Amino acid sequence: MRLHGKIALVTGCGSGIGEAIAARFASEGAEVFGVDWKREAGERVAHEIVRAGGRIVFHEADVSQERAVEQMVAACTARLGSIDILVNNAAVQHEVVLHETSMEQWHSMIDVNLGGVFLGCKYAIPVMIEKGGGVIINMSSVMGLVADPKLAVYCATKGGILAMTRAIAIAYGRQGIRATCICPGDVDTPLNQVYFNSYPDPAAARATIEEHYPLGRIATPDEIARVAAFLASDDATFITGSHVLVDGGVLSTIY
């Protein structure tokens, strides 16, 4: 129960890593304010967490829209009292080479992946300052450190998240705010399945990718959520401005 008494706002809670983080935080004692733009998915997750004995409030919002994020933060503070932990996890991904990327796809990834982090921090940081501190966990990716030929814009957003996180950490550290990033490798999520499905044989694509991992597999969402719970807890009080690589060793290989 490392997060007992903490209020955690988690975006993208309707599936994948966000769902796992919301469930893990609730199991660790946090009161979760779960956000997703898909109401049905978010309500399903909230129902399952409550059934398991956790505490969660679901809120529907599109994190790419400033007014929606402003209202999201206001709703969290009005309903739960404050924000101790912010997890900017919501993301979209389009599998397309750069010269074939449409402006619609560009804006979709930039506005959700990078803009969502910016807006979440913009409106949550004043709440944390007023309270005397807080923890921000931004979801980056190994694609913020290396690259994939079909994910140029996605890589750009994840690299931008790393840079923004460092700036937040040094700007607000004296006000009690820690900011970190998690950089997962491939994770068994619906978002990653979309990537596999972009190949003619999705099962073969997954097998080929898993072959590159020293552990011989990709991560489960809960393996990422456990790292998020650690970073959010008092076990990580001297960790800020850095990223945690949770990649099963894949970036340790050269071929």
pLDDT digits (tens, 9 = 90+) for 150-180: 999 999 999 999 999 999 999 999 999 999 9
Q: What is the pLDDT, as a whole number, of residue 102?
A: 98
Name the active-site residue from 123, 154, 172, 195: 154
> Is residue 85 in a domain?
yes
pLDDT-derived band at 192 (thresholds 50, 70, 90) equals: confident
Q: What is the pLDDT, as a whole number, of residue 90?
A: 97
Query: 54-95: per-residue pLDDT in tens?
Result: 999 999 999 999 999 999 999 999 999 999 999 999 999 999
> Is residue 197 in a domain?
no
* Residue 163 structural domain: 7-188+220-247
> Is residue 207 in a domain?
no
Q: How far apart are CA 103 and CA 108, in angstroms?
A: 8
> Is residue 201 in a domain?
no
Q: Is 154 a catalytic residue?
A: yes
> Is residue 53 in a domain?
yes
Task: Please indicate whether residue 9 or residue 197 has the higher confidence score (pLDDT).
Answer: 9
Contacts of 83 (CB under 8 A, 6+ apart): 7, 8, 9, 33, 73, 76, 77, 124, 127, 128, 131, 134
> Is residue 212 in a domain?
no
Residue 13, pLDDT > 90, answer yes
Q: What is the pLDDT, as a whole number, of residue 74?
A: 98
Q: What is the pLDDT, as a whole number, of residue 194?
A: 84
Question: Number of folded domains in the chain?
Answer: 1
Phi, psi of 135 (to 5 degrees): -125, 130
pLDDT-derived band at 191 (thresholds 50, 70, 90) equals: confident
CATH of the domain at 97: 3.40.50.720
Query: 101-132: per-residue pLDDT in tens?
Result: 999 999 999 999 999 999 999 999 999 999 99
> Is residue 21 in a domain?
yes
> Is residue 124 in a domain?
yes
